[in-house]
Structure 1
Amino acid sequence: MFEMLLLYLLPLLFLTLPILFFLTKPNKKSSTKNNITIPKSYPLIGSYLSIRNIGNRRIQWLSDIVQIAPSATFNLNRPLGTRQIITGNPSTVQHILKNQFTNYQKGTIFTKTLSDFLGNGIFNTNGENWKFQRQVASHEFNTKSLRKFVEDVVDTELTNRLIPILSSSTQTKQILDFQDILQRFTFDNICKIAFGFDPEYLTPSAKRTKFAQAFEDATEISSRRFRLPLPVIWKMKKRFNIGSEKRLREAVTEIREYANKIVREKKKELKENDSLHTQDMLSRFLSSGHSEEDFVTDIVISFILAGKDTTSAALTWFFWLLWKNPRVEEEILKEINKKSESLDYDEVKTMVYTHAALSESMRLYPPVPMDSKEAINDDVLPDGIVVKKGTMITYHVYAMGRMESLWGEDWAEFKPERWLENDGYGKRAFVPRDPFTYPVFQAGPRICLGKEMAFMQMKRIVAGIVGKFKVVPEPHLAEHPNFISFLSSQMEGGFPVTINKRIS
C-alpha cells in the first residue's frame, strides 16, 4: 500500500518541493499586527509559502491572525487541499471540547504522527482505552496523594537537591540554565510520585543523561512532523531510516528501554511485596489486569511528558515575568513570609496571590500553546463555519490569553490582581475563569487530571525559591525571549540566570 502511494505521489513531490523549499527563504523579521493578514492560499501548495516565511515565530504569527480574524477563527490551507481550522473563540472551544466531545477526537493524523513516540498512551488515544487510563490515573490525584506529593516528594527534592544547588551557585556566581534545572526537578518529582522511582536527575552536574537528550529529541522531531508540508516526507524518511527519522528511532529506543526498566523493576517489587499494589499510579496499572509491557510503557512515557515538560515550562516563564515585574515578586514574598519555613499542604493551598500570579503567567505563556482535535463527522461550528469530516481544528490557547475581547485593554500587563477579589472578610479570594476562555488545562471530559497537583507543586517551588533567592536572568533576556513549542512550550536557547541570595 505504501509503495503504491509513493508511485502516485513522488512525481507530484518532485514538481512541488522545489517551489516549497527554494523559491522562498524564511523571513527573520518580526511581523507586527499592522501588517498581519489571513495568509493567501494557492493551488496545490495552499498557504505553505506564508507558513515557511514566518520561520520560528509560528505560535505568535498564528496568534496574530486569530486576533484579526472574524469570530477569532480562520482556515489555514495546507498543501494538496488539506484544511486546518484555527480558533480562539471560547464558544467554539466549548463546542469541540464539551458539547460535541464525541465528534472531536485525537484523530488519525494526530495519533499516527505521534505513535512512534507516545504509542497508545493517554495523550494519544481515544475511546475505551483513554477512559481506562484516565480512570486508573485519577486515583493519583486525591487529597491524600496530593498531600503526600507536596509534603514528601516536592519538599524533599527542594530541601535535598534544588536548594543546595542554588545556594552553591550564589557563592560561585555560576550561570545556570534555569529551564534545564526546572525540567530536572519536575522529572524527578513525576517519577517519584507516579512510579515510585527516583531517577536522581537533579544533580550539581550540568551533563544531560542519554535518556534526557533522547526525550528532548523525540519530542522535537515528533512535533516537527506536523509542520512538514506533506506527511509523506517524514514517512519516506522513516521508511529509509534517514535524517531526523533515524535519530527519532534511536531516541525512542533509548526512551523505551528506560521506561521498560522502570516497569520491570516495579513488577519485581510488586511480586515481592503485595502491599505496594496501591501505592503509586504505575502499581495500579500493573495490578489492573492490563500489565502488557508495551502498553504500560506507553503510559509511563506519556506521564513523564505531562509531569516534566508542562510544569517546568510554566515555571520558566513565571520566573522571567517575576524579574520583569518586581512589584509582583514583592507581593509574593509578602505572602511567603506569612507562612512557616517548611510549608505544609494546607499552607501551600492558601497561597492565593501566588496561585493568581501563576494563572496569570500561564495566560500569557501557556505550557501547551495550541491543541488540536479532528472531526469524526461533518459539523457546523457555533459561528456558522462548516466543518468537513477529517478536518483538524486547533484551538490557540496562546492567542486566547492575548485577546482584548476576553481580558480587556490591559491584557498585555502581567496582573495577578485580575484573578482576585475581596472575599468580604478582608481577605483576597481567587476567582477562576471558565475553562473555555482559559483552556490552559483543556476543558470538558479531557480536562487535565493533574491541574491541582501542578498548582501545588508550582506554589511549593515558588515559595522555596523566592523566599531564599532572587533569580536574575542574563541581560540579553530583557528583550523578549522567543516562545517556541515542541508539544509543550520552551524558552528558545534556554533560560540562563544567576542566583543571588535574598537579603532579608
Structure 2
Amino acid sequence: MHNGDLYSNLLHMWYSHIRLKIRTILADLLDDGILNEDGDNWKFQRQVSSHEFNTKSLRKFVEQVVDTELSDRLIPILSASVASSSVLDFQDILQRFGFDNICQITFRYYLDYLLPSLPEAKFVVAFDDAVQISGDRFRLPHPVWKLKRALGIGSERRLRAVVSEVGEFAKTIVRENKRDLSEAKALESVDLLSRFLSSGHTDEKFVTDIVISFILAGRDTTLAALTWFFWLLSQNPRVKEMVYTHIALCESMRLYPSVPTDSKQVANDDVLPDGTKVKKGMTVTYQVYAMGRMEEIWGADWAEYRPERWLEREERGAHKWKFVGRDTYSYPVFQAGPRICLGKEMAFLQMKRVVSAV
C-alpha cells in the first residue's frame, strides 16, 4: 500500500468516526429523526415529508394558524406594550410565537405559550434544556459526557429527564391521534402528524422521531431570522418604507442566517469546483455566515444591509423591478440540492405575515 493510500484510508476512518460521533451526540434527543439521519432512512423520511409539504391544504392550514396567532395573541401584546410604553423582550415574544405555531402546525396542539402573562410551559423548558445540553456535548471530550451519562450525573442526568419528558409528550399526542383515527372519528388531516397517520405511517417511533425533528427545525430557525430582521430594520430606518418584504428578508438572512454553519458527509470520492479532492467518508463543513459576507459573491458593499441588491429592472418599464434570486449554492441559507429545506416556503409565508402585521 502506498503512503497516499494509507493516508486516504486513515482520513476515511477518521471522518467516518467524526460523523458517528455527531450522530451519537444528538441521538438521545433526535434518535432516528430526519435531522439526525443519512442514507436510506433519511431518503425515506424526506420522500414522505416532501409529499405533505407540497400540498395546498397544508399551506392554507399554515396561513390560518399564523393569522390566528397574529390577530389573537402577538398584535394585542405588542399593542398593549405600545399603549403602556412598556419594554418587551422581542426575541422571547417571537420565540413564544414560533413555538405555538410549530406545535399547532406539527400536531395540532396549542401550548398557550404566547399569553399576556408570558407563562412558562413544561414542554418548552424541557425541550430547550434538551437542545442546550445536547449542544453542550460538542464542547466536551467524548468520553467525558459518555461517562457522565453512564453514571447518571450532572447535565446528563438532567438530559435523560428532559428527553424523557419531551418523548412522552410527543408520544401522548401521537397516541391520541392514532386513537381518534382508529375510532373513525372525524380526524381532519390538516396538521403534519395527522397527515402522516392518515397516509398509513402509523409506527409510533417513526412519527414521534420525525415530529420532534420538525419542532426543532421549525422553531428556532424562523424566530432567529425574524429577530435579526427586526433588529436590522431598527438600524436601517430608510428601508421601513420599502414594500419589498421578500427581498428585505433575503438580505437579512444573508447577513444573519438562522443556521450559520453546516456539515455534509462525502458519499463518494469527488473533486470540488476549486480542485479540492474529497474522499468518501470525509466530513465537509461550509460556513453560511461567512459566505454571506464574501466580497467575491456580494461585492464591495457586502457589509451594508441593502435589500435592493436582490432587485433588477425589468426590460419593459423603467420603474418596474423584479426579484432576482441567487443560486442556492451561493446563498445556502436554506441549504441546496437534494437537501434543500422542505419548509422554505412555509418559513417565508410565516415571516411575511408577521412582518406585514407588525
Q: Who is 2:38 aligned against?
A: 126
Q: Who is 1:405 aligned against?
A: 296
The one-letter code of the counterpart of 1:161 is R
Q: Who is 1:140 aligned against?
A: 53
The one-letter code of the counterpart of 1:163 is I
The one-letter code of the counterpart of 2:126 is A
Q: Who is 1:263 aligned against?
A: 174
Q: Who is 2:324 aligned against?
A: 431
Q: Who is 2:253 aligned against?
A: 362
1:176 paired with 2:88, answer yes
Which whole-Å CA distance do the structure 2 matches of 1:83 and 1:177 have between them? 44
TM-score normalised to the size of structure 1? 0.64
Q: Who is 1:20 aligned against?
A: none
The one-letter code of the counterpart of 1:415 is R
Which whole-Å CA distance do the structure 2 matches of 1:294 and 1:218 have between them? 18
Which whole-Å CA distance do the structure 2 matches of 1:225 and 1:81 have between them? 23
Aligned counterpart in structure 1 of residue 339 of structure 2, from 446, 454, 460: 446
Q: Who is 1:276 aligned against?
A: 187
Q: Who is 1:224 aligned against?
A: 136
1:394 shift after superposition: 0.8
For residues 346-392 of structure 1, what are the alpha-carbon distances to aligned partners after superposition, in whole Å with 9 as ceiling and x for unaligned? xxxxxxx1000000000000001111122345544333334344432
Corresponding residue pairs, total? 344
Task: List structure 1 runs of 4+ shifted beyond 6 angstroms.
Answer: 80-84
Q: Who is 1:374 aligned against?
A: 265
Aligned counterpart in structure 2 of residue 109 of structure 1, from 10, 18, 21: 21
1:233 paired with 2:115, answer no
Which whole-Å CA distance do the structure 2 matches of 1:134 and 1:83 have between them? 28
Which whole-Å CA distance do the structure 2 matches of 1:169 and 1:128 have between them? 50
1:285 shift after superposition: 1.8
Structure with more of its chain in helix, by fraction:
2
8 Å contact from structure 1 (residues 376, 389) kept in 2: yes
8 Å contact from structure 2 (residues 292, 298) kept in 1: yes
Which whole-Å CA distance do the structure 2 matches of 1:207 and 1:379 have between them? 52
1:440 shift after superposition: 0.4
- Superposed CA RMSD in Å reads 2.3
SS across alignment from 2:332: coil
1:83 shift after superposition: 7.1
8 Å contact from structure 1 (residues 140, 280) kept in 2: no
SS across alignment from 1:226: helix
1:203 paired with 2:96, answer no
Which whole-Å CA distance do the structure 1 matches of 2:61 and 2:197 have between them? 21
1:328 paired with 2:328, answer no
Q: Who is 1:53 aligned against?
A: none
8 Å contact from structure 1 (residues 363, 440) kept in 2: yes
Greater shift, 415-424 or 287-296, is seen at: 287-296
Which whole-Å CA distance do the structure 1 matches of 2:270 and 2:22 have between them? 19
Aligned counterpart in structure 1 of residue 224 of structure 2, from 297, 313, 318: 313
8 Å contact from structure 1 (residues 402, 412) kept in 2: yes
Q: Who is 2:6 aligned against?
A: none
8 Å contact from structure 1 (residues 321, 414) kept in 2: yes
Which whole-Å CA distance do the structure 2 matches of 1:370 and 1:399 have between them? 9
For residues 200-231 of structure 1, what are the alpha-carbon distances to aligned partners after superposition, in whole Å with 9 as ceiling and x for unaligned? 22111233212112211211221222233x32
8 Å contact from structure 1 (residues 370, 394) kept in 2: yes
Structure with more of its chain in strand, by fraction:
1
8 Å contact from structure 1 (residues 107, 375) kept in 2: no
1:414 shift after superposition: 0.4
Instruction: Return closer, same or farther for 1:421/1:233 CA change in 2, 3 Å cut-off.
Output: same
For residues 173-196 of structure 1, what are the alpha-carbon distances to aligned partners after superposition, in whole Å with 9 as ceiling and x for unaligned? 332221111111122112222322
Identity %: 60
Unmatched 5+ stretches in structure 2? 1-10
1:112 shift after superposition: 1.5
